[in-house]
Structure 1
Amino acid sequence: MDTTRNTVLEVWMAEHGYSANSLADAVNRALEQLTGRTGGLDGSSVRAWKAGRVTWPKSATRKALEDVTGLPAVALGFVPRGRPRSAPAPPHQEDPEMKRRTLIGGFAAATAAVVPLTASPRRIGMSDVDRLRKRFAEIIASDHRYGGQLGIEQRAASLADEALRLQNAGSATQRVRSSLYASAAAFRSSAMWAAIDGSRYDIAKAHMREAQALAEMSGDQAIKFRVWSHAGTMYRHMGRPADALAANDVARNLHITRRDPLFASLGLARQGAIHGVARERTDTRRAFEQAQDAMLRADPADHRPVWMLAFYDQAELDSLALSAYLALGDYPTAEFHAHRCLSTLRPHMIRSRAITTTRLAHAQMAQGDADAATTTAAKVPADVATQHARVTRMLREFGTALRATAPGSATLQTWAEHTTSWRTTA
């Protein structure tokens, strides 16, 4: 099997209906916008990317491809020149074998019923880890497009089991074993996030417990941060700010936040969102000021995991600020952050755009502008409005607020007709 094939790009193309020729044409048009000259790509160029013969396109081509897809090149399965396929696992503070023996029992039942990948023991290597990392990039891309779907949760959980299954499929170095645990934790944390996003909190907590144990066994600071930061977000959505702050503090106290200001920024921004739920106005403002300062100090050239590159930027910081100021009842500030978020949100963030648009409608409604709010809310695509639990709930709450604010109005009638069309097209 050709382990260098770029399956992540193949999946993205299939999901978005691109052939090799049509993607080449789209990138050529983007190149013309960037450089003023039409690109010279054709179907064979894209097939070379898919086959892994070209692992890192030229800079202008890469930028054009990122503009077309809305994803960074590394999230599309490309590997920068001169960079090894994977980074060594960070040093462990505790004996990893002791952790493995202590914690692996919790997963024995989950993995025992799964059919082994191989009929006989073999050598497990970093190529197996790389294959899992490509599948992880696919999960990330699906999450940003669809969010919260049970299918994404189930696929991520299944891939976590596959990573654990590899632990018993043959011999491996400690580096490989640590990387497999990190992959399993990454998939399990994605399953956790999908459950959170779909408001399936009891299931999310079960995923969280497994993800936390796997992250500990991996020794990977980045995935530990992701798991605990997700836990903080889960408790925030559940209306438990004290638990949310405690979980988020675990993430913020990891060494990675001192090494990389972007991780520090994300931790602070999520802390600000939690303070908003707790109605702590001064702490909210201070957290977002510090998050913004840390983001400005972050070096964009630093190597970071795919999940971080794919979502955390200025738009996400503004999205979290929007959520916080909406919870505080500071609706003009919330509206400011909503507009700024929407102006910089990357095209692939379909779920995030719907959430931000719905929150903007709430901020406008709270300021008494029912007409503008209804026009804003109507921009949410029907498929997201009806299939994403969080968006559906927020739009239902919007309808309730509109009925209270403008009963019997033409605006309310327009909204009722609009939501009826959702039901008939869903």
Structure 2
Amino acid sequence: MPKQRNTKLEALLVEFGYTHQQLADEVNQTAQDVFGKPTQCTDRHVRRWIAGNVQWPWSRYLLPLQQIFGRSPEAMGFIPRNSSRVPAPPRRSAPVKEERPVRRREFIAAGLAAALGLDAIPSAGRLGTADVERIRAIVPALYNHDHALGGGALHTVAEQALRFVHYALNHCTYGSRVERALYAATGDLAASAGWFAYDAGLQEDATSLYSEALQAGMLAGDGMLQARVWSNLAMQARLLDRDQEALRIGRAAVETRQAKADPWLMSLLHCRQAVGHARVGERARAERSLARAESAYDRTNGEPAAWLSFLTPAELTGLAGATHQALGRYGQAQELTASALDMLEPRFERNRVYYTVQSAQALLDGGEVEQAVAEAGRATAIGERVQSERVQGKLDGLRQQMRRHAHVPAAADFLEQTRRTGA
């Protein structure tokens, strides 16, 4: 069979922001976790995979690649032979201390800063549509890592990118048509940087970036961008325990023409409104919002915008669980959250931590202390792999509530263990 270029793997490198050497380094680091020792992957291996010279890599490379991209070998463009199979990772005789998450965050953040191609954004001269597209491509590249790493690893990279774009806006020339597109792309980047700052616990930075995004959205005449920012501002208000303000902002977003025209956005907005209504005890309105969210999601088709790529059936189910949790229906909340975790794709690592904590919380509130402790233990273990102050705060709150059950041996053991490890 003649060799065929692996365009799927090539696209994944672009999507995740890897150079050939960076992916080889990441394969070696991931292999340390999978096999207990690194492989000897080089950029030459990566080039051969992409060129189609190697259609099915050795398992010592294939398993790390699955971990990195969260996809099956076939989805990465590899072609199995009749005897090809992916073996299970080898079992280890003793647990290995987890030091890799911080290294991985630093590695990817540093790699992204280089791979985003910020130096290619002109600092003088005239900007055209190709420059706008280059700026637009920054946001999807960042969001691919946000789902796994959390905003704590990305907000500085996003703000660095925004500085490059600001410089171009203020030192280059461009026509009116390009100007509108530039403001839309800049607002998209500012809104994304605001989300990463929000997730990292930097609420003042998030507010400032959201304000910039709103202004850019108005200058660009981009109603969708403005509706997106209103949605994020509602989430931030809820995080700060300003529930009525969050509901008012969310209601304004739902009423926008852009939200009514985009079922992806409308579904998300109604889900978040459902949680908000539940938090203030409005049961009927919460249930009505959940029904509207499902109805809107049924009308979706194609692919959503990059920032909405997390909106899957698992996310809708998890938010329904959060709604029932806020209404005090702990059994139903736990069932829905468990279902969401079952459906959640591997690439959504931060959301896995978030919903594992939610599951533990529902079990604890429902009086199932020992089961809650088991879920909390799982959340703590996988929580080390993401950098999200928002998720960490949720886990800290669960641990504080666990103190009320310190008379239960399992809870006492969990509290002591997390105290010793600083988790």
TM-score by length of 1: 0.71
1:143 aligns with 2:164: no
Equivalence for 1:107: none
Equivalence for 1:255: 257
The secondary structure found in structure 1 opposite 2:18 is helix
Equivalence for 2:344: 345
Change (3 A) 1:420 1:67: closer
Pairing of 1:98-247 with structure 2 (within 5 A): 118=122, 121-149=124-152, 151-247=153-249
The secondary structure found in structure 1 opposite 2:154 is helix
Q: Is the 8 A contact 2:150 2:387 kept in 1?
A: no
The secondary structure found in structure 2 opposite 1:311 is coil
Q: Is the 8 A contact 1:139 1:152 kept in 2?
A: yes
The range that moved more, 377-386 or 131-140, is 377-386
Q: Deviations over 1:105-164 (max 9, x none)?
A: xxxxxxxxxx99656x42212222222223212221222122231x52222222223223
Q: Deviations over 1:157-185 (max 9, x none)?
A: 22223223222343323332222212221
Pairing of 1:20-31 with structure 2 (within 5 A): none
Q: Deviations over 1:17-61 (max 9, x none)?
A: 5569x99xxxxxxxxxxxxxxxxxx84475469xxxxxxxxxxxx
Aligned-partner Cα distance in 2 for 1:16–1:420: 37
Q: Deviations over 1:306-347 (max 9, x none)?
A: 222x21111111222222222222212211220121111121
Aligned-partner Cα distance in 2 for 1:178–1:227: 18
The range that moved more, 387-396 or 213-222, is 387-396
What 5-or-longer segments of structure 2 have no aligned partner? 1-9, 32-44, 53-64, 77-118
Equivalence for 1:325: 324
The secondary structure found in structure 2 opposite 1:168 is helix
Q: Is the 8 A contact 1:378 1:418 kept in 2?
A: no
Q: Is the 8 A contact 1:160 1:185 kept in 2?
A: no
The secondary structure found in structure 1 opposite 2:411 is helix
Q: Is the 8 A contact 1:342 1:353 kept in 2?
A: yes
Equivalence for 2:392: 392
Change (3 A) 1:368 1:255: same
1:404 aligns with 2:407: no
Change (3 A) 1:378 1:370: same
Q: Is the 8 A contact 2:121 2:134 kept in 1?
A: no
Change (3 A) 1:15 1:68: closer
Equivalence for 2:305: 305
Change (3 A) 1:365 1:16: farther
Over the matched positions of the two proteins, sequence identity in percent amounts to 25
1:419 aligns with 2:422: no
Equivalence for 1:379: 378
TM-score by length of 2: 0.71
Pairing of 1:33-72 with structure 2 (within 5 A): 43-44=46-47, 47=50, 69-70=69-70
Aligned-partner residue type, residue 136 of structure 2: R
Change (3 A) 1:44 1:70: same
The secondary structure found in structure 1 opposite 2:379 is coil
The secondary structure found in structure 2 opposite 1:123 is coil
Aligned-partner Cα distance in 2 for 1:116–1:360: 45
Q: Is the 8 A contact 2:201 2:388 kept in 1?
A: no
Question: How many pairs are equivalent?
Answer: 340
Q: Is the 8 A contact 1:357 1:380 kept in 2?
A: yes
Pairing of 1:348-359 with structure 2 (within 5 A): 348-359=347-358
1:417 deviation in Å? 4.0
Equivalence for 1:101: none
Change (3 A) 1:16 1:191: farther
Match of 2:266 among 221, 242, 264: 264
Q: Is the 8 A contact 2:279 2:327 kept in 1?
A: yes
Change (3 A) 1:410 1:17: farther
Aligned-partner residue type, residue 228 of structure 1: W
Q: Deviations over 1:349-374 (max 9, x none)?
A: 11111010001101001111111111
Aligned-partner Cα distance in 2 for 1:263–1:270: 11
1:389 deviation in Å? 2.0
Change (3 A) 1:383 1:343: closer
1:241 deviation in Å? 1.9
1:421 deviation in Å? 5.5
What 5-or-longer segments of structure 1 have no aligned partner? 24-41, 50-64, 77-114
Aligned-partner Cα distance in 2 for 1:132–1:264: 26
Q: Deviations over 1:61-93 (max 9, x none)?
A: xxxx9997348xxxx9xxxxxxxxxxxxxxxxx
Change (3 A) 1:12 1:271: farther
Aligned-partner Cα distance in 2 for 1:292–1:139: 28
Aligned-partner Cα distance in 1 for 2:419–2:229: 39
The secondary structure found in structure 1 opposite 2:367 is coil
Aligned-partner Cα distance in 2 for 1:197–1:19: 27
Aligned-CA RMSD value = 3.3
Aligned-partner Cα distance in 2 for 1:298–1:276: 25
Aligned-partner residue type, residue 8 of structure 1: E
Change (3 A) 1:253 1:164: farther
Q: Deviations over 1:185-240 (max 9, x none)?
A: 12211222123223332332222211111111122233222211101111111111
Aligned-partner Cα distance in 2 for 1:17–1:293: 45
